Structures are given as structure tokens and as C-alpha cells.
Amino acid sequence: MHDLGGKCVFASEIDKHARKTYTENFKGISKHIFKGENFNEDITKINPSDIPDFDVLCAGFPCQPFSQAGFKKGFKDHRGNLFFNIASIIEHKKPKAYFLENVRGLYKHDNGKTFKVIHDVLSNMGYSVYHKIVNASDYGLPQHRSRIFIIGFKDDSILSSFDFPDSIPLKYNMSDVMEGRCNKEIGFTLRCGGRGSPISDRRNWDSYMVDGEVVRLNPAQGLQMQGFPSDFIFPVSDSQAMKQLGNSVAVDAIRVCGKAMVDYMFYNNV
């Protein structure tokens, strides 16, 4: 979003290792949020009125309550309830738009009831709700990472409709990432845990055959699969870096859909 002309005025992250990585990489372009109280540690303890005014809210609330890897407890898991903290901020600050991201399982969780709650909460606050299951490989990255993107606008005109961008070709493949002949053109989804499973195990996601040898994915290669810039820094251990990559977003997919969102806002004077 910064690349699209935005300026971050507030961020929230509770994990101490992720906070360290965030600070290291964004202290140069968002100095102001680190000087005051605008790099929040616990979103459940923030008063929305203390957040600076903003135009767009971007959030990825914890996916574990809705994921295959988790227990799929949804809103019964306290982490799933963080959506309502986001909704409270939207209701109080009334931004022009929002961009939410989560695992694809959110859409069908509890036979669609969970997504309906999210849809209704946003709609009842006066926002449109557009959603799509997006794969990282749809937008140029060599990774089978399916996530639901939810985008909406305040007081949206019924005369127009937001469209998610069309797919684009791969920018590079896994052979480029692994710098050798890889057995897969598009890689597995990067995950938060479960590293080190045998390559023949169905749970494997970080091992590939490269030039006939088993090669384990490293953070630098994970960064490339997620579309991060080559100068992105991980001031943490490799295990923490891989966890953060598994928790992160496919940058190119966010950028392409974010640009469509911003263009829609300007075109419709949202």
C-alpha cells in the first residue's frame, strides 16, 4: 500500500519476533508510527478513538480458527473474535475502504455461517462487501497459496461494481527460486509450522527435488515465493523467519488487488 502512494498511520502486531522484523523493515518509511503510540502491541486493548484518522483499513485477523491446520473453531476461538475488534475500529473511524485477508476456509467455515456474520456486520455498517478466493500464482508468484480477499467501500454506489483483477502469468517459477531444475513449477503453500517432514510425506511443504537432490527451503527463497523485495531483512532466527513467512501475505497479490481498490476509490470518488 505504501508503494501505491499510501502512508501508514497505525500498525498492530502482538508477536515480539514479528514486531522486531516489522520495525527493522519499516522504521525508514514509517518513522512517525514508532515515535508515538501508533505501533500497537495488542489490538484488543486499543481505544479506536486513539487511532489517527485514515482512509483504508488493512487487516489479516488470525487464520488458525478457520484453517485446515487449526481446530476450525471459528468465533469460538478467542483469536477468531479479533474480527470484531477490526469491526469496532471500522465503525468508529468510518474509513473509506477496507481490505481484509484470511485463509480460504473462512468462506465455508460452519457451513458459511461465519462468513455471513462477517458480511452482515460490514454491510450493516454501510459498507459493500466484495470477496474472492485468490491464489498467489494468479498474480505472478510461484506458490499455491489460496486466500480469501475481502474488499469493501463505504456508501458504495449500486451503479458500479468492484472487480478483482484478472490473473497474470508467472513472473518466475520454482526452478528460478531454487536456482536449479526443480520438480515443481509452482511451490507449496508456505506454512507456519510442520517444517522438516520427509519429502514423500503428505505434510511436506518445504522440501523440493532440485537437480536430483532434496533441498530444504530457506528464508531467502521463501521471501521470493511471497514476492518480498530482495533487501527485506529478517533480524530473527531462520525458524522465526519461516514462521513469519507462513503467516504473511503474497505481496504481489496484495499489490495488484490493492491497486484495483485504490483505482476504484478514485474513479467512484469514494
Domain ranges of the chain: 11-170+250-267
d(CA 265, CA 156): 9
| Spatial contact of 234 and 21, defined as CB atoms under 8 Å apart | yes
- pTM more than 0.85: yes
Closest CA to 1 of 259, 267, 268, 263: 259
pLDDT in tens, the chain (270 residues): 999 999 999 999 999 999 999 999 999 999 999 988 899 999 999 999 999 999 999 998 765 554 444 444 544 544 447 888 999 999 999 999 999 999 898 888 788 888 998 999 999 999 999 999 999 999 999 999 999 999 999 988 765 689 999 999 999 999 999 999 999 999 999 998 888 999 999 999 999 999 999 999 999 999 999 999 999 999 999 999 999 999 999 999 999 999 999 999 998 887
d(CA 46, CA 42): 7
Those residues whose C-beta lies under 8 Å from the C-beta of residue 130, and which sit 6 or more positions away, are: 150, 151, 152, 161, 162, 164
d(CA 3, CA 229): 12
Write down the pLDDT at residue 74.
43
Write down the pLDDT at residue 205.
96
Write down the pLDDT at residue 63.
53
Torsion of CA 37, 241, 2, 167, to 10 degrees: -140
Write down the pLDDT at residue 77.
45
Per CATH, is 11-170+250-267 categorized as 3.40.640.10? no
Write down the pLDDT at residue 73.
53
Write down the pLDDT at residue 64.
55
- Active-site positions read 63
